Amino acid sequence: MLYYSTRDKNRRVTASRAISDGLAPDGGLYIPECIPRVSAEKLEALCKANYRERATYIMGLYLDEFSEDELRAMTEQAYGENFETESPAPLRFVDEETAYLELWHGPSCAFKDMALQMLPHLLTASLKKCGEERNVCILTATSGDTGKAALEGFCEVPGTRVVVFYPQDGVSEMQKLQMVTQKGSNVLVSAVEGNFDDAQTGVKKIFGDKALAERLNEKAVFLSSANSMNWGRLLPQIVYYFSAYCDYVISGKLRCGEKLDFCVPTGNFGNILAGYYAKRMGLPVGRLLCASNANDVLTEFIETGVYNRNRSFHTTISPSMDILVSSNLERLLMLLSESDSEVRTYMETLSEKGCYTVSDSVRQGVQETLSAGCCDDVRTKETIAAVFNTYNYLIDPHTAVAARVLDDYREKTGEKHPCVVVSTANPYKFASDVLNALGGEAEECRLLEALSEKSSTNVPAPLRGLHDLPVRFGGCVAKADMSALVENYLS
């Protein structure tokens, strides 16, 4: 199966090339040229399989250059003891029609691990298949969760280095601690003066620096990215939609073949797009609910067909969803319009005017599957408290946004179909706001214990003792010095 760029259908490459490159050279995103189908019989068979077997099968449909044995070895390593739970993605029911899909039992305590524990295996194998002999340096700007997940995923992976930049004042204390105490001989972490946009622009500038690329090439190094524009990050995410469906069936609360809705807390549109792929592959998905925080650009888009980033940016208690340009939406536009020139026009209009309107047929295609809703910080906190008080179940602010949007949707439609709320972070990762939502308060260094006492739950192992670890990366650079830091590190 080949992959093509959303901005040029004639630019076709193998899966290994798409994964090695991340982004297409024309700025587009790679997508598979067709979508494989999973039959009803196969779905029944997958219900009996474990997560690793499900992952081997689903990923194999898109990766014909990889043998089944090769993929099995990868899924066993990616989804093994590095996760706290028997299944890396367990379902937790709160009532007959509602379950939370917990995607945060990995080393960084957020759902990015589902993809970033797999990506290093996919990437190193892809580089080999492409005959690439240089070392790769993964360069990332993070608003919090991607950075730690990339560090954990690539730590001590031969032939790779990782450099992570985070905004000095833009991440939670816990997220910062997770990164600056990272172990490993092939990692570098630095704060950047400014906000996430400054870090992100700095990184993009480094990627665009041809002279730097040339100098690195002489040292047999090249730069690549671990953000969700890479197909190698999206593909592992399709798996957990299948897995959640199978586990719902196993629970006896759904018959195989019946429809299941999903409600997804959304930022860059990667997570929910994986759900859309699962539906197109034949998984009986009903509606996909796209949940946003106060940054409601996607809510408006799904309801009206107008994408408008010209609005104020809100800093919220669900920071991983604070985003105005959802990059992966470009892939959905391609799937619905089937026209690279149409996608190119939308993206050009977006970069010139900050706004575009899709055709009637694309809007109808969007609305056929997706519904949307949003939720501000006050209602997010109310929801954390309500879910805890009603079900004795603790959720993080991102997940709470989705929980609230689902409630609103059920109230509006007057129907209660079976639905999975995709739960994206461990509540302890955002201990301060979660504790606050439950009416508690504590000093920074006592937050985890205080939340544990208040909620009668356990502090997750990866966050325990973080305060006692030595800080390895205390530095902060000006935006102008990011490039030199990277080059020095790689020399």
Ligand X SMILES: *Cc1c(COP(=O)(O)O)cnc(C)c1O
What are the catalytic residues?
A: 112
User: Residue 376 CB: number of other CB atoms within 10 A?
Assistant: 15
CB of 401 to ligand X, least distance (A): 9
CB of 488 to ligand X, least distance (A): 30
According to DSSP, the residues that pair with 8 across neighbouring strands are 5
If the CB atoms of residues 236 and 267 are measured against ligand X, the closer one turns out to be 267
CB of 87 to ligand X, least distance (A): 19
If the CB atoms of residues 212 and 451 are measured against ligand X, the closer one turns out to be 451
Residues lying near ligand X in the complex (CB under 6 A): 110-112, 145, 228, 265-271, 320-321, 398, 424-425
If the CB atoms of residues 16 and 237 are measured against ligand X, the closer one turns out to be 237
User: Residue 280 CB: number of other CB atoms within 10 A?
Assistant: 15
CB of 249 to ligand X, least distance (A): 25
Strands 3-5 and 30-32: antiparallel
Tell the burial category of 303 from Cβ atoms under 10 Å away from its Cβ (0-12, 13-18, 19+): middle
Residue that the structure tokens 């790769």 belong to? 136
If the CB atoms of residues 111 and 154 are measured against ligand X, the closer one turns out to be 111
CB of 103 to ligand X, least distance (A): 9
Q: What angle do CA 76, 423, 161 make, to 5 degrees?
A: 50
Spatial distance between the Cα atoms of 296 and 290, rounded to a whole number of angstroms: 10
CB of 110 to ligand X, least distance (A): 4
According to DSSP, the residues that pair with 265 across neighbouring strands are 291
If the CB atoms of residues 106 and 265 are measured against ligand X, the closer one turns out to be 265
If the CB atoms of residues 111 and 262 are measured against ligand X, the closer one turns out to be 111
